[in-house]
Amino acid sequence: MSNKRTLDGFFKPAESKRPKIEASQEVSSHASYPYPIPHLPCSITDALGFAPAAEAKAINDQPDLDLLHFQPYIPKDVQADLFKFLRREFFFYRVQYTIKRGSIQTQINTPRYTTVFGVDETSYFGVDGSLLESKTKQPVPKDRYKCMPRPLPQCLDVLRKITEGTAGETFNFCLVNYYANGNDSISYHSDDERFLGPNPAIASFSLGAKRDFLMKHKPAPMSMSEPAKPEAKPLKLLLASGDMILMRGTTQTNWLHSIPKRKGADSGAGRINITFRKALVRGGTENYYQYNVGSGGIFRWDNKKQEMVSWKATEGSPTPGPPGTVSLTA
């Protein structure tokens, strides 16, 4: 075979020469972060300028259901890079908590890695990262929150702004789930807490492994006065890397959703889910940090081991939990 370079060779994009994911020099830091989070590499930020990459399919042919499904939202050429960047750069938690039903206490082990950023509408972060009251613009008293709210890092804020443009909504919270494999899951629930207000819009992104997204209508309350509504059929959407589901209107009030455990194809691979939401009152901030940060250890992605590993803080680094709690594992 000749080594002579052909014209074709000159004009073909040199795909293999593209740097993997170049590190950004700039970082997002905050007193509440265990360590800084690099800004998105320019290659990813630039590509996000082309989002949404596809028009949305409306799914609203069932009672009380109002969904938009973007397949995909994140352009194909950066889906894998964005997934790897976020998995590598975030700190995650594996939250445990107890619930009491009557006299019986049960320990719940959240079956996925989680993290959260943001603060409810009553507060905002000043340019120096300090927490200010929305009404008075004065510093929020130290004991206002049991948790330590933290601002969205730049890498999520870029996506938040684009998503706000698409959804015609504003968001102040970002929850991140990492499903390490098919054993990780989220059970049937609705994101209808009162602190989100009526008819909350929730934008939900998928990156990495494909997973089923199941939806079913909540049981209708028995009512003599209201006529029976037509039966709602359960729904199964296969969420692929780069997809975004916008859930809005009466969806959360009336429908439950879940990501069930998965066996077989793709069950060994990881998936990141990012949701943007708007919490109106303080209770939302306390709730989101309690169930997505908690008081357990911090986990980081270990690229050699290809798994999340427990991370030990160096002395003097801040703990992300409520002030005064010991939140680092050995």
Ligand X SMILES: O=C(O)CCC(=O)C(=O)O
Q: Which residues are annotated as a binding site for substrate?
A: 192
Residues 202-221 that bind ligand X (CB under 6 A): 204, 213
In the bound state with ligand X, the residue whose beta carbon lies nearer, of 39 and 87, is 87
How big is the chain, counted in residues?
A: 330
Contact set for ligand X, span 170-189 (CB under 6 A): 175, 177, 186
Alpha helix ranges (H) inside the chain:
7-11, 42-48, 76-89, 154-167, 251-254, 282-292
Binding partner of residue 204 among Fe ion, ligand X, none, CB under 5 to 8 Å per kind?
ligand X
62 binds, among ligand X, Fe ion, none (CB under 5 to 8 A by kind): none
Judged by CB under 6 A, the residue of 152, 155, 196, 259 near ligand X is 259
| Collapsed DSSP state (helix, strand, coil) of residue 154 | helix
Is the bond preceding residue 139 a cis peptide, omega within 30 degrees? no
Which residue of 64, 164, 169, 191 would you call a contact of ligand X, by CB under 6 A? 191
Q: Residue 99 is encoded by which pair of tokens?
A: 């619930």
- What gap in Å lies between CA 259 and CA 110, rounded to an integer? 13
Q: Which is nearer to Fe ion, 123 or 177 (CB)?
A: 177
**DSSP for 29-61?**
--TT-SS-EEPPPHHHHHHHTT-S-SPEEEE--
Do the beta carbons of residue 225 and residue 231 sit within 8 Å?
no
For Fe ion, which residue of 64, 77, 133, 191 counts as binding (CB under 5 A)? 191
273 touches ligand X (CB under 6 A): yes
- Tell me the two tokens of residue 129: 């990262």
Contact range with Fe ion by CB under 5 A, out of 127-135, 141-149, 183-191, 213-221: 183-191
Q: Annotated binding residues, as ranges?
A: 177, 179, 189, 192, 257, 271, 275, 277
Q: Which of 41, 200 has the CB closer to Fe ion?
A: 200
Residue of 116, 79, 109 lying closest to 95 (CA atoms): 109
- How near is the Cβ of 257 to Fe ion at its closest, in Å? 6
Spatial CA neighbour of 321 closest among 292, 294, 299:
294
Q: Does 152 bind ligand X (CB under 6 A)?
A: no
Taking Cα atoms as reference points, which of 48, 58, 60, 55 lies closest to residue 72?
A: 55
Please identify which residue in 160, 257, 262, 278 interacts with ligand X, judged by CB under 6 A: 257
Q: Do 318 and 35 meet the contact criterion of CB atoms below 8 Å apart?
A: no
Phi first, then psi, for residue 78 (nearest 5°) are -120, 0
Contacted by 213, from ligand X, Fe ion, none: CB < 5 to 8 Å by type: ligand X
Hunting for tokens 């750069």 — which residue is that? 89
79 binds, among ligand X, Fe ion, none (CB under 5 to 8 A by kind): none
Give binding residues for 2-oxoglutarate as ranges: 177, 179, 189, 257, 271, 275, 277
Concatenate the DSSP letters of all residues of 196-235 into one string: G-SS--EEEEEEES-EEEEEEEPPPPP-SSSPPPPPPPPE
Q: How far is the CB of 191 from Fe ion (least distance, A)?
A: 4
Q: Looking at 62-70, 79-87, 184-192, 285-293, which segment touches Fe ion (CB under 5 A)?
A: 184-192
Per rule CB under 6 A, is residue 193 in the interface with ligand X?
no
Q: 209 touches which of ligand X, Fe ion, none (CB within 5 to 8 A by kind)? A: none
Q: What residue ranges bind ligand X (CB under 6 A)?
A: 175, 177, 186, 191, 204, 213, 257, 259, 273, 275
Q: What residue ranges bind Fe ion (CB under 5 A)?
A: 191
